[in-house]
Amino acid sequence: MKRIVLVNLLLCITANFIFAQSQCILKGKVTGQGHEPIVGANIIIDGQTKGAISDVNGNYLLTDLTAGKIQIKVSFIGYSTQQVTVQLYQGENLQNFMLEESAMLLEGLVVTAQKREERNMDVPIAITSVGNSFIDNINTTQYDGLSDYVPGLQVQLQSPNNPGIVIRGITSDDGDSRVEPRVSVFQDGVSISKSRGSVVELFDIERVEILKGPQGTLFGRSAQIGAMHIIQNKAKSETSGSLKLGYGNYNKNLVSGYFNTPLLKDKLFVRVAGIYNAYDGYIENLSGGTLNGKETLAFRTSLRYMLAEKTRLDVIANWQQDTPPGTSFKSGTYAPLGGDTDPTSFADLDMGEDLGLDRTVWGVTGILKHSFNDTWDLTSTTAYRRFDSDEAFDADGTAAPVLFFHEISKGEQFSQEFRFNFDNDDRFKGFLGTNFFYEDGSQRVPLVTNEGSYLVLLLDNLYGTNNLLVDGVPVIYENYPYLGDDYAQLTGLPFNPANTEAYTNYGENYAADIFADFTYDFTEKFGVTLGLRATYEDITVGYKVDDAETTSYLGMLLGTFPNNLYASTGGEKLTRNESFLSAVGRLAANYKVSNHITTFANVAKGRRPNVINLDATNSEVLNDEIVWSYEVGMKSLFLNNRLQFDLNGYYYDYNHFQTDYVELSDNGGIEMFTDDAGSASALGFELGFQFAFMKSSSLFANYAFIDATFDDEDAHGNKQEYAGNTFRLTPKNSFSLGFNFNPAVSKQMSVYLRPSYAYKSKVYFDEDNDENIAQDAYGLLNFKAGLMYKKSLELGFYMNNALDEKYIIDAGNTGDAFGIPTYIAGPPRFSGVQISYKF
């Protein structure tokens, strides 16, 4: 018996020893031709299900292999697939791979919209992803220039302090700290959605992803109708850099560049980038200075520290200052002295060179990522951000000293997110986590007015006259005229020539989220995604009016005593606190028709949080704005990633659509509020196409159709005021097309030509659809051309709006509340030269 046990024991030990000796490990590194690590490359054993993905250092690891010859295939989008035969021996085997960049390369094929890196065509969402090369080719560093080439996206920039972002007809442009945007703007996983702090210069960018449709599950409370995610370049394990210099008309100056280097080999890396971009205003102002110019200075420093083989920390610090001249809110009623009311010609805005913006935005983000194993990883994102701006503008658009405003905005935010990602053999994957968000903001809006000029404006509005200016010269009452027996005692009293009053909005918000998003592939071709996010919000809003420095007796007549415009709160800060609990979600399915075509469908619920309206006389809570989205689409990728074609269609159903108003009340005071405009709907479709027809040369085209209108009746069957009207800032038809032709003229020299054209049909600037406050259809032609030496030295010439198209980017504005709408001209022809060097 003992012999039998001993023999069995020896057999087991021998078998285990032989089995262990037959086990193999294969590891190595995947790099590009410049020895830079490739992150996210797929390493697959041909004929088996085993595989790995390269980490942040390009390293991969395959375990539990059997000795012998195997076929390894290594692939990554943008690089030629490499397939080699590897002889495995017992124990540890080393095999490195160096991939060559594909001769035919399209941008935007890889996205991280679902919090993991994957092919765009595998994601059941309509996404447009543009990389740094495309942004450089169209010669822009601003959102509005980029939006011309993204179907379904429109961006209006009155100034860096006042953007309007429109996705599929829905505008997000409210600067009130008490109101949540409809479109989320994210920067490296952190919300920067509040409009006064959301505009950042696009420099040293990896890519920008624009997601259309409700994205609350993925991007939180502000993503009611879409999201824009800006992914900046991070520090890498390489030494590289670039410098670009440019000069053009309107005294345009551009300096931008970056430098990246390791500080500790394979451990600590740093990247420093910056930009200075400025030009003089293209609208001359008779009262002094120019209008509609630009001056932006921005810096970024990023560090990457490899704490361990499976743990990394990224720290990114951003700082930006904008000091452009004022915005040309030019009156369409009163012409400047010796001029006309054409928005593109010279203006005469009161306060001259005192108009303009001084805005500073800065923030620090820390991203810690740890991989527990091949299935689970944890990402912690911690961020602090702050903005401070002071914008001075002339709201009446004339030389009259009547409506001179400042908007002094301040805001700070802190956020902390923990997210667990999992990927179980490419069949079941997703993420779940929690997020805490805090923000505190305010807008103080002082008004300086000459009361004698203000009375003329009010009488013009009341009687339909045009006496504010005569032949370009302001008409100003020096003393109170006879205003009836009730106010006879005021007759003859002098007006205050420059009286100041102000109101302030306050908004403080605590928000906590829990979220989860799962994708399950039932077969190799069919998968379903389910996402949910629950949110708790504790919102406190405030409102306060600082009364006029000198008592306004005119206010006795207007009902705003002791002020001219703002109804008094008696110097008291009014507040209201409310809490809300909500949930949004999405259900999506995708079907892989072939290796080249994927179809998808989704239904999603989007939400814009409740608005608390609070002013001197009213306090109310509006219902949260709800949209149900239904979408189908098709994505394709042919010819070894050289040809991409996308098509999608959608229908939106809105309830409690919120609309912003600025109106003059019956007593002469101004009312600024958000109202429930009822029900609305949108129907549309989008096409996108790009094709790499030869090495380093490609072409693109896209088209968007949007029919977004207010319904005839609200949810209760009542006829709506705006029935049938089109949403503001929404062209029904838009398209763009262009190409990048880059032929080689020698082994070291190439030339390039990059023309592009963008078209938009008619746009209304208010829900009234006033024909006088609209922009007819127009198109913009841009191009770049130049020489490139060894792919490192480039000399180019550019021309934006080459045909010098005259158009406006906004109309109405505050002046419209007083019956004198103002108009903002779009940029004229810009041209210049640029030289850049990369190493």
The type of residue at 2 is K
Of 98, 122, 156, which marks where a domain is finished?
Answer: 98
Rounded distance between C-alpha atoms, residue 377 and residue 418, angstroms: 11
**How would you classify the pairing of strands 183-187 and 226-232?**
parallel
Three-class SS of 688-749: EEEEEEECCEEEEEEEEEEEEEECCECCCCCECCCCCCECCCCCCEEEEEEEEECCECCCCE
- The pLDDT assigned to 6 comes to 45
pLDDT digits (tens, 9 = 90+) for 466-510: 999 999 999 999 998 887 887 788 888 899 999 999 999 999 999
Predicted confidence at residue 179, as pLDDT, reads 85
Question: Is residue 46 pLDDT above 70, yes or no?
Answer: yes
Task: Choose one of 77, 98, 119: the last residue of a domain.
Answer: 98
Confirm whether 120 is domain-assigned: no
Band the pLDDT of 30: cuts 50, 70, 90.
very high
Per-residue pLDDT tens over the stretch 682-710? 999 999 999 998 878 999 999 999 999 98
In a domain, 161, yes or no: no
Residue 565: closest CA among 578, 552, 577, 582: 552
Looking at the chain, the whole-number percentage of residues with pLDDT higher than 90 is 65
Q: Give the whole-angstrom CA distance, residue 400 versus residue 457.
A: 10
List, for residues 196-255, the tens digit of each pLDDT value: 889 999 999 999 999 999 999 999 888 888 999 999 999 998 999 999 999 999 999 999
Q: Is residue 326 part of a domain?
A: yes
SS in 3 state form for 453-522? Answer: HHHHHHHHHHHCCCCCEECCEECCCCECCCCCHHHHHHCCCECCCCEEEEEEEEEEEEEEEEEEEEEEEC
Give the end of a domain, one of 56, 75, 98: 98
The DSSP bridge partners found for residue 93 are 26
> What is the predicted pLDDT for the residue at 423?
87
SS3 19: helix
Paired tokens of 308:
């361990």
What whole-number distance in Å separates Cα of residue 357 and Cα of residue 408? 10
pLDDT of residue 696: 81
User: pLDDT-derived band of residue 452, with 50, 70 and 90 as boundaries?
Assistant: very high
Q: Which residues does residue 701 pair with via DSSP β-bridges, in sequence order?
A: 689, 737
Q: What do you get for the CA distance between the two ends of the chain, in Å?
A: 76
Looking at residue 409, what is its pLDDT?
96
- Nearest-angstrom CA–CA distance, 219 and 688: 24
The token pair that represents 632 in the structure block: 């189908």
Residue 195 lies inside a defined structural domain of this protein: no
What CATH number does residue 488 fall under? 2.40.170.20
Query: Does the residue 219 lie in any domain?
Result: no
pLDDT band at 538 (very low <50, low <70, confident <90, very high): very high
What domain count does the chain have?
Answer: 2
Tokens 């920008």 correspond to 208
Q: Average pLDDT of the chain?
A: 90
Of 63-72, 528-537, 590-599, 665-674, the range with the lowest mean pLDDT is 665-674
Average pLDDT over residues 270-299: 97
Domain span at residue 67 reads: 2-98
Whole-number pLDDT of residue 78: 63
Residue 640 confidence class, pLDDT cut points 50, 70, 90: confident
Whether the pLDDT of residue 2 is over 60: the answer is no
pLDDT band at 4 (very low <50, low <70, confident <90, very high): very low
Task: Tell me: pLDDT of 7 over 50.
Answer: no
pLDDT > 70? residue 784: yes
Q: How confident is the model at residue 598 (pLDDT cuts 50, 70, 90)?
A: very high
Residue 164 lies in a domain: no
What is the reported pLDDT for 670?
58
Q: Find the angle CA(824)-CA(828)-CA(832) to the nearest 5 degrees.
A: 140
CATH number, domain with residue 68? 2.60.40.10
Q: Summarize the confidence of residues 178-191 as an average pLDDT.
A: 90
Residue 155 lies in a domain: no
What single-letter DSSP state applies at residue 623? P
Report long-range pairs for 255-263 (Cβ below 8 Å, ≥24 apart). Answer: 256/141, 256/203, 256/204, 258/204, 258/233, 260/235, 260/236, 262/237, 262/238
Q: Are residues 91 and 237 in the same domain?
A: no
- Decide if pLDDT at 135 tops 70: yes
Does a structural domain hold residue 119? no
Share of the chain above pLDDT 70, in %: 93
